[in-house]
Amino acid sequence: MHKEREGGESSAVLREGVFLSCQPLDSVIKEKTGKSAGGDENYVYVELGGMPQTLCSSTMFTPSGFSPHLVSSEEPPQDGPGPGPELAEGPPLTSASLDTLIQHLVPTAEYYPEKAYVFTFLLSSRLFIPPHELLSRVCQLCIKQQQLDQIPLDMVKVRKFGPKILQLLTEWTETFPSDFREEQMVGHLKDIIHRIAPCDEAYWKTMNQILQNLNQKLAALNQGEESMVKVNASASDKMVAFKTKPPPIQKDILSICSDPYTLAQQLTHIELERLSHIGPEEFVQAFAQKDSLDSSQPCFSDQKKKTSNLEAYVKWFNRLCYLVATEICMPAKKKQRALVIEFFIDVARECFNIGNFNSLMAIISGMNMSPVSRLKKTWGKVKTAKFFILEHQMDPTGNFYNYRTALKGAAHRSQTAHSNREKIVIPFFSLLIKDIYFLNEGCANRLPNGHVNFEKFVELARQVGEFMTWKQVECPFEQERNILHYLHTAPIFTEDGLYLASYESESPENQVEKDRWKSLRTTILGKT
């Protein structure tokens, strides 16, 4: 959709989207740059000076700024090999053998790996070794180094080691609970704790707490996946053919929700709910390939290469695109279609101010679909200035420079937030996937000497870790069940249905469109 900007509308319209005491995102960007998200009349966007590239907090997964010299103490551990001299000194780690990296994951009585390293390696190691094999090797190294297979145990030594291995198991189960769907994983966990438990009764209690928390996480994951199956089996994913005269009882979005901010809130509910089920490992498994140094089977079989939550989220984006296009093409009257377009423009603006970039992009994409953008008479009745500001905000030029600038603003607001409303950051998911894909394709997993390219995986962990922080935000908005139900289940047109509805609303303008219209009327309506 390309039209001249209309006069009479300020380019600062995004600043109107204030909600309660929460500062709208555009104000955050302006505060940091002196510019609004709308920019000036020439749409000049300014890099956010001093804006952190990533969030930094004690609870954050991302190892941004992570410089792994990999030994927290200058003194080497006295009870085992430890991480090895090649990791203890010199510049930040860029590569190492898989065995060395595994050794560094193993805690001792005097040593525990940095949290950033734990996340980075647990995330990336599955490209080279299945999780159950990794945990088995970690446990075997612990048994050997701590002499846990000898009787009697060195009680003093094990009491120093116990809390550290329990901490590692806690981090693993909390961050990658899906790994423990395999019985082997739970078996290894129980075995190592059983070996140290005679030294301290509290270890039994800790093990039970770990298992209880793990079971709750797995139950939530299973429940979420089951609900997605039900949603996908419902009308929500069933596209319908065009009907020339929709039944009078058929609802539309404006009859369900006429307030743009409320709809933006409900879209944010859906986004955060779906994001919550995506595990960090899905980003790795989506692009997993067979390890070049492993002649056996790849780490992920078709059954274990589980990316269902990630795929369901991508499907939601596509559904929202088609829902927007359907709602615009469905009304018979031009004036009503224009009202629907303006409504979705306002919804998109509210999504921007909330920090919900995924719904924002889906709405813009829906309005830019050919069956919608060709409705020139309809667009002629639309005040498009606000739309062009939003469209420019998501312009792909410069590798989505404008969007990435706005995302930094949202990340800054989230970092300094005083409420969950200000913590919301929902990235444009397809671009996040694209970034991870090109990182994976552009950098080898191993170097020519066979070492793991750890520098690549630090960057991967930074991107995935940032996402992990954002997805944990609890949605602060009240649920509107009828709106959520409509967004999930309202019928949407197929692509052909959209084109036919578009042609029925505004006649074809050239022979190609006329031929397509005739063909669609025959195949869909049975008319000639």
Q: Which residues pair with 452 in a beta bridge?
A: 96, 446
pLDDT category of residue 72 using cuts at 50, 70 and 90: very low
Q: Is residue 357 a contact partner of residue 25, using CB atoms and an 8 Å limit?
A: no
Q: At 37, list the tokens.
A: 């998200």
Q: At 175, list the tokens.
A: 């961050």
Over residues 432-461, the pLDDT tens digits come to 999 999 998 899 999 999 999 999 999 999
**Cβ neighbours around 332 below 10 Å, total:** 12
Query: Distance between CA 242 and CA 383 in Å, rounded?
Result: 28
Q: Which residues pair with 426 in a beta bridge?
A: 356
Give the residue carrying structure tokens 């709750």.
216
Q: What pLDDT, on a 0 to 100 scale, did the predictor assign at position 8? A: 36
> Looking at 167-181, 279-293, 431-445, which range is the least confident one?
279-293
Burial of 35 per CB tally in 10 Å (0-12, 13-18, 19+): middle
Rounded to 5 degrees, what are φ and ψ at 492? -125, 150
DSSP symbol at 154: -
Burial of 20 per CB tally in 10 Å (0-12, 13-18, 19+): exposed
Q: What pLDDT, on a 0 to 100 scale, did the predictor assign at position 317? A: 96
Cα separation values, 301 from 130, 132, 298, Å:
11, 14, 7
- pLDDT at position 33 over 90: no
Mean of pLDDT over the chain: 81
Q: What pLDDT, on a 0 to 100 scale, did the predictor assign at position 250? A: 62
Q: Which residues contact 304 (CB under 8 A, 6 or more apart)?
A: 130
Q: Is residue 266 a contact partner of residue 480, using CB atoms and an 8 Å limit?
A: yes
Rounded to 5 degrees, what are φ and ψ at 406? -65, -35
Three-state secondary structure call for residue 426 = strand
* Closest of 192, 53, 167, 187 to residue 115, by C-alpha: 167
More confident call, 68 vs 226: 226
Over residues 199-246, the pLDDT tens digits come to 888 999 999 999 999 999 999 988 888 887 777 666 544 556 655 545
Over residues 132-157, the pLDDT tens digits come to 999 999 999 999 999 998 888 888 89
For range 503-517, the mean pLDDT: 93
Burial of 133 per CB tally in 10 Å (0-12, 13-18, 19+): middle
pLDDT category of residue 480 using cuts at 50, 70 and 90: very high
- pLDDT at position 521 over 60: yes
Q: At 268, list the tokens.
A: 């944010």
End-to-end CA distance of the chain: 31
- pLDDT at position 77 over 90: no
For range 2-27, the mean pLDDT: 37
Q: What pLDDT, on a 0 to 100 scale, did the predictor assign at position 9? A: 36
More confident call, 287 vs 237: 287
Three-state secondary structure call for residue 146 = helix
pLDDT category of residue 65 using cuts at 50, 70 and 90: very low
- pLDDT at position 373 over 70: yes
Cα separation values, 492 from 280, 323, 351, 435, Å:
31, 6, 22, 30
Q: At 502, list the tokens.
A: 């578009």
- pLDDT at position 274 over 80: yes
Percent of the chain with pLDDT over 90: 66
Q: Which residues pair with 356 in a beta bridge?
A: 426
Query: Distance between CA 128 and CA 94 in Å, rounded?
Result: 17
Cα separation values, 241 from 247, 315, 327, Å:
14, 19, 14
Q: What pLDDT, on a 0 to 100 scale, did the predictor assign at position 287? A: 79
Q: Is residue 524 a contact partner of residue 497, using CB atoms and an 8 Å limit?
A: yes
Over residues 78-93, the pLDDT tens digits come to 444 444 434 444 467 8
pLDDT category of residue 63 using cuts at 50, 70 and 90: very low
* Closest of 356, 310, 347 to residue 476, by C-alpha: 356
Q: Using omega within 30 degrees of 0 as the cis cutoff, is the peptide bond preceding 152 cis? A: yes
Q: Which domains does the chain have, with CATH numbers?
A: 1-51+239-292+302-425+481-528 (1.10.840.10)
Q: What pLDDT, on a 0 to 100 scale, did the predictor assign at position 92? A: 72
Q: Which residues contact 257 (CB under 8 A, 6 or more apart)?
A: 263, 266, 480, 483, 486
- pLDDT at position 431 over 80: yes
Q: What is the CA radius of gyration of the chain?
A: 27
More confident call, 504 vs 83: 504
Cα separation values, 260 from 337, 343, 483, Å:
16, 6, 12
Three-state secondary structure call for residue 363 = helix
